Amino acid sequence: MPASSSPPGATSTPLAVTTQASDELSSSPKLPPELVENVIDHLHDNNAALAACALVSKEWTHTARFHRFTILKVRLRYDDYTKLGEALAASADLRNMVRTLWIVAPWEDDAPGSPNMGPLTWLPVLEKTEELILTGYMLESDYPADDQLGYDYDLGPHLPALKRLIMNCWRMGVGPLDAMWKSFPQLDTFTLSRIGRIIPFTIPDRPWGAPVPAPHPRMRKLGVEWISWQQLRHTANWMLRHPNPELLQTIRLQCCFYVLGQAQPILDKFGPLQLQHLHLGIQAYQGDDVSSDNQRITAQKYPSLERCTKLSMLRIVIHTYDKHDEAQYVTACTHAILFSLASPALETLILEAQLNRDLGPTEPFEKLDWTAIQRMLQHPTLAKLSRIVINGRSHSDKLVKLLKEKSPELYKNGMFTLAMVRGSQRPL
C-alpha cells in the first residue's frame, strides 16, 4: 500500500509479508457487500495477515469493522509512540476495536537508547484492550533515573481492562518486574517467553539480604532460552517463590545439555501439579570457548521428568550440532529425558531438529536407541501415548528403515509421523 496513504504521524512496519493483505484492505470498502464479506472471511482465517494490518491507510478503520479486527501489531521506534498515540487518540472507534495490543521494540544501531517501557505512557487510554504483548523490551534496573531501564511509572490507568500480559525477548530484573505487576492487579494470565536474561539480585546500595520478589501470582507460562547455567539456576530459585504454583501449565527451556539439570527444581516443583506442556531445547556448547565448558560437562546432571506426572505433551528440540564430540552428550541428554518419562496423561511426543530456528537435519535421531525407546514407551504408565512426531529436514530412507527395524511395534501401530516441512506431516 502506498506510504502516502498513511494517516498523519502513524507508523507501522508489519513483521510478516503483508503486500497481498494490504492491497485487499485498501480495496475492500469499495467492493460490493457480498465480495467484501469474502475478503473479510479470508483475512479473518489468515491470522498472520490479520495481525499485521495496522494503521496502514485512511480507510483502515472503516475496513477493520468489516473483518472484525481485534489485534493491533506494530513495530515502534522511540519517536513512533507519540505518532501512534495521536492516531489512536483521534479515533474512539479504533481504540475500542483494539482488544490485543502487540508492540515490537526494534533493536537498531541508530535507536536512541535501549528499548524501555516509558514511552508506553504516551499512548491514550485503551478501555477495551484485554491483552498486551511486548516484544524486545528491557526492564533491568532498580534505579530508572540512572539508565531508563527501570519502572517508575504506572501503566495501569492506560489499560484498565487488561487481563493478559505477555513478554517476549526480554532482559529483566525481578525487582522492577515486581513493581510493574502492581500496575495490573486484575491480571488473569501472565506469560514470560524467550527470556534471555533474568537479574535475580538487587542493585548495590540496597540493604543486604533484601528479599527477591516472587513471580506474578497469575503466571501460567514460563519460557527461557539461550540461558547460561547461572541464569537458569537463578530463574529456578525465583520460580520456586510462585505463590500459586498450580497455575503454571507450560514451560519452555532452551539451553546447553549440561545446563538443563539446573532446571530440576522447577520440574520437581511444578511437575506434579498442573504442568501439561513441556518444551525442552537441547543445545550443544554455550559458546566457542569449549575449554571453559569442559569443567561443567564433567559435572553435569541431566534433567529427570519422573515428577512431571501431568504432562500431556513433551517436545524435545535438538539444536543441530556441527562438532563430532558433541553428539554423544546431546544423545545422552535426550535419552535421559525420554527414559525418565512417567506421566500417565502423556498423549503426544514431539522430537524436532532445528538449525538457525528452521528445521534441521534428522541425523541426531538416527543416533538414538530406538529399541530401548520402544520398550520404554510401551510401559503401562504411558498407555495414553498415541502419537510420536519427528520434525526435521531431509528425512532419508535411513531413518524410516531404522524406525521400522528398531521400533517395529510402534511403526506397525502407526504411531510415527514425519514432518518434512513445518506444518506438513506424513504418517509412516
Grid cell 505477555 is found at: 166
Residue 35 within any structural domain of the chain: no
pLDDT value at position 8?
31
Whether residue 281 is contained in a domain is answered as yes
Return all residues near 377 (Cβ < 8 A) that are at least 6 apart: 341, 349, 385, 388, 410
Query: Rg of the Cα trace of the chain?
Result: 24
**DSSP at 386:** -
Report the DSSP pairing between strands 424-427 and 416-421. antiparallel
Number of structural domains (the chain) is 1
Residue holding cell 524406525?
403
All cell numbers assigned to 2: 502506498
375: amino acid identity, one letter: R
Q: Which three cell numbers stand for residue 174?
A: 525481578
And the C-alpha cell for 187?
491480571
Phi, psi (rounded to 5 degrees) for 22? -65, -40
| pLDDT value of position 16 | 29
Residue 412 has pLDDT above 80, yes or no: yes
Q: How many separate helices (H) and strands (E) can be counted in the chain?
A: 16, 17
Cα–Cα dist 18/117, whole Å: 27
User: Residue 309 domain-assigned?
Assistant: yes
**Does residue 393 sit within a domain?**
yes
Looking only at the bridges linking them, the beta strands covering 250-256 and 219-225 are parallel
Q: What is the pLDDT of residues 32-64, one digit of tens each?
A: 444 444 444 444 444 444 444 443 333 444 444
pTM of the model: 0.75
The DSSP H or E segment spanning 188 is none
- Percent of the chain beyond pLDDT 70? 64
Rounded to whole angstroms, the Cα distance separating 301 from 118 reads 42
Return the SS3 of 342: coil
Pick from 114-123, 233-242, 291-300 the range whose average pLDDT is largest.
233-242
| Residue 25 three-state SS | helix
Q: What does the pLDDT read at residue 373?
A: 97
Domain enclosing residue 353, as ranges: 253-285+302-423
Q: Is residue 9 in some structural domain? A: no
Q: How far is CA 417 from the centre of its chain?
A: 24
User: For position 424, what pLDDT does the model report?
Assistant: 40
Range with lowest mean pLDDT among 6-10, 85-89, 298-302, 371-375: 6-10
Provide the 10 A C-beta neighbour count for residue 351: 21
Residues 184, 392: Cα–Cα separation, whole Å: 41
Residue 48: what pLDDT? 44
User: Across 36-50, 218-232, 276-290, 400-414, which has the greatest mean pLDDT?
Assistant: 400-414
pLDDT digits (tens, 9 = 90+) for 179-214: 788 888 888 888 888 776 776 654 444 556 666 678
The per-residue pLDDT for 427 is 45
Residue 344 has pLDDT above 80, yes or no: yes
Cα gap 225→304, rounded to integer Å? 19
Answer whether residue 67 shows pLDDT above 60. no
> Would you say residue 4 lies in a domain?
no
Give the separation between CA 98 and CA 132, rounded to whole angstroms: 10
| Integer Cα distance of 389 and 115 in angstroms | 38
Helix-strand-coil split of the chain, %, nearest 5: 35, 20, 40
Q: Is residue 190 part of a domain?
A: no
- In a domain? residue 96: no
Q: How far apart are CA 413 and CA 408, in angstroms?
A: 9
Region for residue 298 given its phi and psi (left: phi exceeds 0; alpha: psi -120 to 50; beta: otherwise):
alpha
pLDDT category, 418, cuts 50, 70, 90?
A: confident
